Structure 1
Amino acid sequence: MSKPLLCLLAGLLVLLTSCNQNAAGIAAECGPDLPDAYTIRHPAWASNASIYEVNIRQYTPEGTFRAFEAHLPRLQQMGVGILWLMPVQPIGQFKRKGTLGSQYSIQNYRTVNAEFGTMADLRHLVDAAHQRGMHVILDWVANHTAWDSQLAKEHPDWFTKTKQGNFQPPVSDWQDVIDLDYSKPELRRYMTESMAFWLREAHFDGFRCDVAGLVPTDFWNDARQQLQQVKPVFMLAEWDELYPPAFLPKAAFDPNTKLLEKAFDMTYGLRLHTLLDSIAKGQKTTAHLDKYLADERRRYPAQVYLMNFTSSHDVNSWDGTEYERLGKNALPFAVLTALLPGMPMVYSGQEAALKKRLRFFDKDTIPWNDYPLQDFYTKLLQLKKTHPALRNGDPCSEFERLPVSSDLKTYAFVRRKDAAEVLVALNLDNKPHELMMRELEPGNFRELFTEQSIRLGATSKMLLTPHSYRVYERLPEQKRSWF
């Protein structure tokens, strides 16, 4: 073999080795490796997903799986990647609240609430979502059951008791449910087997786990391992490891809980949620967003998922709609939660600009009003789905805060990966602001909502009207032709 050919082969070998190292060791270029304590590997289909919470009861006049299924084409077009169904099991009768009761008061873990339809209807819904490229997770209530649940009748020893030996609610206000005792190995085995039942029988792809921090973490760690043997799952915990829930005494909150290491793909971004409420009330400023993001990065590696949202079933019913809480900044904050690092969540009815609190224990159908915000959320979620700089948990995606103004009611940032870039600018004030795009590399951009193209750079000025937002996608630079 000739010497030039040997050199060529040697060069190719070095190049291939370098490429392999880059592919296998992204963190070496983009940040620190994922710590050994983190064993969760997210399903590939979650990397560009947004999540949509489905309230079957209130979604349609019928309140059934079949009636909701007709909305799948619209949600697919909107860019939804994961559908989260609120609990689908029968609801307890004893001490029921309202006429229909709480969907979180489970009477039987392995059957379907007849009000919603049959197991065949549910399976048809999940399979239809799969056919459209969406995945579906089930809301799972592991911490408590209804008073008249099957488990309370057959296994009363699986519950915590008062000093008098009676069942007890886990929280004083939750009088329609009773607390389970996870010191019982038989309960742990039953609960894990019940979760696996829904993966097999209804083809779910994972679970959103109610008040996950009230259930021992080692149960979730073990359950995740066993569920993975059935199929790759996505697990969302209703919890924030650094933020005590309002219903729990602070002394009972354990900040050392590690749900995201071995059990869950994602937890709630509850601190961001409350921060947005505080900014809307004038109690905090956009400067606190920087501190929040810095705290998150110190706490978690970039590969961890946190869920960003402006509404949910709990928030809407008990705290108020986003229009009550966020006022004229409801849409700017929706843009923010969609495009900050994290996975955005949309609740049933937000695309209808829902301005009412849905009743929690009674029938209260969403007034859709021809979906006035369908296009708004479609543009956001489709951008999230397709843009390489917005991938979930990607350590190679950069976040840069732009110092556009000294004012504390504006906020601008860039999400960037290689040459792909998204620029977001918000004005949360009730007066206009002119932002100077300092530190922005010059280039051509297209605005997401107006589709207008513009040249922007470090000397550009952007006038934002009160309570407005702009989202720009950097366009590829056109190569000049000299011929």
Structure 2
Amino acid sequence: MTSVPEWFRSAIIYQIYPRVHGFQEGRFGTLVDIEKDLERIQKLGANTIWLMPIQPLGEVNRKGISGSPYAIRDYKSISADVIACDRKEELSPDDLEALGKEQFRSLVKSAHQRGMRVLMDFVGNHCAPDNVLLDPANPPQRGGYHPEWFIWDQEDKLPLAPEPDWWDTVDINYGIAVPGKPNYHRLYHQDEQVQKELWAYMTSVLTYWVKEFDIDGYRCDFAHWVPLEFWREAIAEVKGIKKETIFFAEAYDRLKELLESGFDATYAFEIYNQLKSLHHDVKYDDPYFEVPYIKDKINWERNRFGPRYCMVRYTENHDEIRSIVMYGSEERSKPPFLLALTLPGVPLLYAGQEAGAVIRPPLFEGNFGEEKFQNIDFHGRKDLTKWYEKVLTLRQEKSYLKGPELTFVIPSNRKMVIYLRRWGNEMALMIINFAFDSISEDVEFDLPAEILQSCWDSGGQLVDLLEGQQVIKIGSRTVAQRVKLTLSSLQSLLLEMRNN
């Protein structure tokens, strides 16, 4: 597997939907709006932004009035929608494109000056039916005309879509069958030169944004439907240009194979799905049914992917409902995020999550039951925002929360998950308390050997960093110590080890 750049292991990703970031009646959010918001995002504690697609979108078979951002018409252009300009109609297409490039370059530069990183979406599995590659008039310098890069039925006027519900897009044919993908048996090229030319073009898309704008990596949409062979070649070429470029995959299959093909990380979607059972998809009328199995899932990940694997962990994104809605309340949304934040991996939050947003921005009008776009109120729940600032700062400051070392501790209470995080001599116990249906909960557990050994000579104490009230004293020469705690509803602890 690839060696993950150290900066990415310390990343806290803030996902941005450009359309609604600074949205006003009459116009979408812009690159300038995002650049102006970098100070607030950095103060929150995020150090990496992921921009959902900023390219122009297709008109043919468009969903809604505005279209989905994942139906891209031109991979190497910037949409006029995200360009800040009050007189767009007065500018020539070339001048407007130049302005967009200038604004995006400024955004990336401003982020880098703050020590932040910028990631883009790469939608390599499909594109708009009227993508420039399907335009006979498209000049070679913009990719040319290549109907042979798609799948056609004789009776169809357009190439095939990846699946019926994605009728605003068409499938890109990489020439290699991908098992499990619709139409996979038709994904081949009789002429190897056709395959070679497509791969070269799609790789040039990836290198373009790195070379021209110095971006730091990609979130790759539906990566498991693109051939592994392509990923191996393309990722190697991009990293040859900028070694610390990262790739993380939105993938729901072939995770290990994607990591072995050069990806630095994948979505941690199985843990996300497990946590749905706390409120949204309750199993057997028991909201805590899956909690004891969180340990099993993480251990499965470690055994499957190796000790230094990396996953992007989240409690919401643009494809999922808002976490406050998912878990039923602001307070109930906190333990799942603490889990995502403190397990090995890279945490991600979706813009507005920190302010308690309940509306999931639609990808197009009518999507998710939302008929229009709205600006995000980042000042909606100030106490929640302060909580996010606190826990994200802890994640940035504490080395033991960034490394791969993890040891589970067995609690007496099945509504809690406890684990030790360690980096060198620094360590802390994380107690995630999912209990919401009682005033308080008792829990007992044995302190792990690593903590007792650290206290062997002079003793020590475990000090809670979340609320600062809980302290557990540990004597020297202690062979075993059973801890008994009473926690209030949904009260979690981050108990940092401190020697006397």
One fold, TM greater than 0.5? yes
**Which residue identity lines up with residue 42 of structure 1 in the other structure?**
V
Shift, 1:371, TM fit: 5.2
Matches within 5 A, 1:391-430: 391-392=402-403, 394=404, 397=405, 399-405=406-412, 407-429=413-435, 430=437
In 2, Cα distance between equivalents of 1:463 and 1:99: 54
**How far, CA to CA, are the matches of 1:385 and 1:302 in structure 2?**
21
* C-alpha deviation, 1:425, in angstroms: 1.4
User: Residues 156-185 of structure 1, C-alpha deviation per residue, up to 9 Å, x if partnerless?
Assistant: 111112353541110111111011111222
Q: Could you tell me how far apart the structure 2 residues matched to 1:59 and 1:461 are?
A: 46
Write the letter of the residue equivalent to 1:52: Y
Corresponding residue for residue 455 of structure 2: none
Match for residue 236 of structure 1?
A: 248
Name the SS for the 1:229 alignment partner: helix
TM score, norm. by length of structure 2? 0.80
The one-letter code matched in structure 1 to 2:319 is D
Kindly state the Cα deviation for residue 465 of structure 1 after the two structures are TM-superposed.
1.6
Distance 1:269 1:92 in 2: 31
Matches of 1:463 and 1:223, distance apart in 2: 53
Query: How far off is 1:347 after superposition?
Result: 0.8
Q: Percent same amino acid at aligned positions?
A: 30
The answer to whether structure 1 residue 449 and structure 2 residue 415 are counterparts is: no
Question: Are 1:91 and 2:57 counterparts?
Answer: yes
**How do 1:53-452 residues align onto structure 2 when only pairs under 5 Å count?**
53-62=15-24, 63-117=29-83, 118-153=100-135, 154-162=145-153, 164=155, 166-183=158-175, 184-232=195-243, 233-241=245-253, 255=254, 258-280=257-279, 281-283=281-283, 284-315=289-320, 320-328=321-329, 329-362=332-365, 363-370=373-380, 372=382, 373-392=384-403, 394=404, 397=405, 399-405=406-412, 407-429=413-435, 430-431=437-438, 432-440=440-448, 441=451, 443-452=460-469
The alpha-carbon deviation at position 445 of structure 1 amounts to 3.0
Question: Which whole-Å CA distance do the structure 2 matches of 1:314 and 1:408 have between them?
Answer: 30
CA deviations on 1:27-75 (whole Å, 9 max, x unpaired) are: xxxxxxxxxxx2x122231132121111111121250111111221122
Q: CA RMSD in A?
A: 1.9
**3-state SS of 1:298 partner:** helix
SS state of the match for residue 354, structure 1? Answer: coil
Call closer, same or farther: CA 1:474–1:439 in 2, change over 3 Å: closer
Q: Residue 230 of structure 1: CA displacement?
A: 1.5
* Structure 2 counterpart of 1:464: 487
What is the one-letter code of the residue matched to 2:336?
Answer: F
Write the distance in 2 (CA, Å) between the matches of 1:468 and 1:416.
22
Secondary structure at 2:379 match in 1: coil
Q: AA paired with 1:97?
A: K
In 2, are the aligned partners of 1:49 and 1:384 still within 8 Å (CA)? no
Structure 2 distance, partners of 1:58, 1:464, is 39
Q: TM-score, normalised by structure 1?
A: 0.82
**In structure 2, how many angstroms separate the alpha carbons of the residues matched to 1:263 and 1:209?**
12
> Quick check: 2:9–2:345 contact (8 Å CA) kept in 1?
no
Contact in 2 for aligned 1:169/1:175 (Cα 8 Å): yes
- Range that drifts further, 424-433 or 342-351: 424-433
User: Residues 229 and 261 of structure 2 are in contact (CA less than 8 Å); yes or no, is this contact kept in structure 1?
Assistant: no
Indicate if the aligned counterparts of 1:445 and 1:472 stay in contact, CA closer than 8 A. yes
CA distance in 1, matches of 2:227, 2:198: 12
Do the aligned residues in 2 keep the contact of 1:321 with 1:356 (CA within 8 Å)?
yes
The alpha-carbon distance between structure 1 residues 193 and 390, as it changes in their structure 2 partners (threshold 3 A), is same
Q: Measure the CA separation in 2 of the matches of 1:467 and 1:453.
A: 15
Q: What SS does the aligned partner of 2:219 have?
A: strand
Deviations 1:433-460 (A, max 9, x none): 1122422546323322323462345343
User: 1:341 & 1:277 partners in 2: Cα distance?
Assistant: 20
Q: How many residues get paired?
A: 417
- Structure 2's unaligned 5+ residue stretches are 84-99, 136-144, 176-194, 284-288, 366-372, 453-459, 475-480
Question: Structure 1 residues 210-219 or 277-286, which shifts more?
Answer: 277-286
Q: Contact (CA 8 Å) 2:356, 2:380: kept in 1 or not?
A: no
Is 1:50 matched up with 2:12?
yes
Q: Describe the SS at the equivalent of 1:311.
A: coil
